[in-house]
Every structure is written in C-alpha cells, then in structure tokens.
Amino acid sequence: MRREIRPATTADVDRLQAIESAADARFEDLFGPEPFGAEAAEPGEARTATPGFVLVAAERPAGPAVGFVHVLEVETVAHLEQLAVVPEQARRGHGGALVEAACAEAARRGYRSITLRTFADVPFNAPFYAAHGFVETPARDAPFFRALEATEAQLGLDRLGRRVLMVRELSPHSDVRS
C-alpha cells in the first residue's frame, strides 16, 4: 500500500463528517448511540474553519480520504481533537500514520507538545495513544482545558467511562513523512 497523508483539500472536506460518523460506530457498539450517532459528527466545513489543521489519509496518492486527524491550535496549545478512520480501513496503520503526521506538523509549527482527551479504558483510545508516545497527565487548569471538560460533561462522556488528558512531547526536528 502506498499511503498518502496530506492536508485536507476541498474535495476531502465533504468526506470528513461521513468518516467520523462511520468511525463513531465503534463507540456506539460500546456505549449506545448517545452521544455518538451520525448527527453528532461535526461537518467538515466547521472542522476546517477552526484554528488548527486537518490532515487526511488516503490509500493511494490523490485517492479519497479514508481517515483524518484534526488538531486545534488554541491558547498556545496543539490539541488533537479528533482522529477517525472508516472501519473497513481500520487496523491498516492509517490511524498511527495520522497521529505521527499530526505530531510532526505540530512540531513544525513550533509546538513542544500536543495534548488530547480520551477514554482511559477503551482499547482503541488511551492504550492506542500510549503506544504512540502519549502519557496520561494531570488535568491542566487553563480555560481551554476547563472548556473541554465542561463540553464532555455536557455531552455525557464522563458518565461513559474515565476520561483522561494525555500529552506527547514533540521533537523540534520531526518530519511529516508517512
């Protein structure tokens, strides 16, 4: 396979919501449809309008996106907001390649670390990210992180399982190749 990781193009933006909805089906299997139903996925236009960047994975150059990673840049923080791969393309390394590319791009933009919030005990969440160099860290007392926790509580995520903040230190010499 000749995977391509690239910044989301206009053609990719329309696929982001469908990719997220398909990927969220794994959560529906664990927790039920709330809050993971198809209507919960954020439209691609909204993702690309926020400060930060969206990278997509395709199985061939210029091919259709099969996964994406969305990184927010807020208050001097690079935060991995969303990672999604369509289930039929799962376990082929796309998620890991997207995480590595996101970390490299964040480092290229001058960030020393990247954060994320996730379920501690879901195998394809915290354990997956730990395998990619993220470590659990205490909650940070900053407006951005307090707002994340409040949004998660409003969505009811805190009732579904323990949520954790994870961080990965970045090398200033990271490269964006996959």
CA–CA gap between residue 139 and residue 32 (Å, rounded): 27
The model's pTM: 0.87
Top-confidence residue, 163 or 90: 163
Residue in 77, 71, 72, 136 with CA at minimum distance from that of residue 111:
77
Top-confidence residue, 75 or 101: 101
CA–CA gap between residue 28 and residue 156 (Å, rounded): 14
Collapsing DSSP to helix, strand or coil, 70 comes out as strand
The predicted pLDDT at position 47 comes to 76
Written as one string, the DSSP assignment of 98-148 is HHHHHHHHHHHTT-SEEEEEEESS-TTTHHHHHHTT-EEEPPP-SHHHHHH
Question: Lowest-confidence range among 21-25, 33-37, 69-73?
Answer: 33-37
Copy the structure tokens of residue 153. Answer: 């509580």
Task: Kindly indicate the confidence band of residue 128, based on its pLDDT and cuts at 50, 70 and 90.
Answer: very high
CATH homologous superfamily of 4-169 equals Gcn5-related N-acetyltransferase (GNAT) (3.40.630.30)
The answer to whether 108 and 174 have CB atoms below 8 angstroms apart is: yes
Question: Lowest-confidence range among 66-70, 85-89, 95-99, 146-150?
Answer: 85-89
Domain boundaries, the chain: 4-169
The predicted pLDDT at position 173 comes to 58
What does each C-alpha distance from 161 to 26, 68, 74 come to in angstroms? 15, 24, 26
The predicted pLDDT at position 35 comes to 55
Q: What is the mean pLDDT of residues 111-125?
A: 90
Say yes or no to pLDDT of 92 above 50: yes
CA–CA gap between residue 72 and residue 166 (Å, rounded): 15
> Model confidence over 134-171: pLDDT tens digits?
999 988 888 899 999 998 888 888 888 889 999 999 98
Question: Lowest-confidence range among 6-20, 29-43, 46-60?
Answer: 29-43
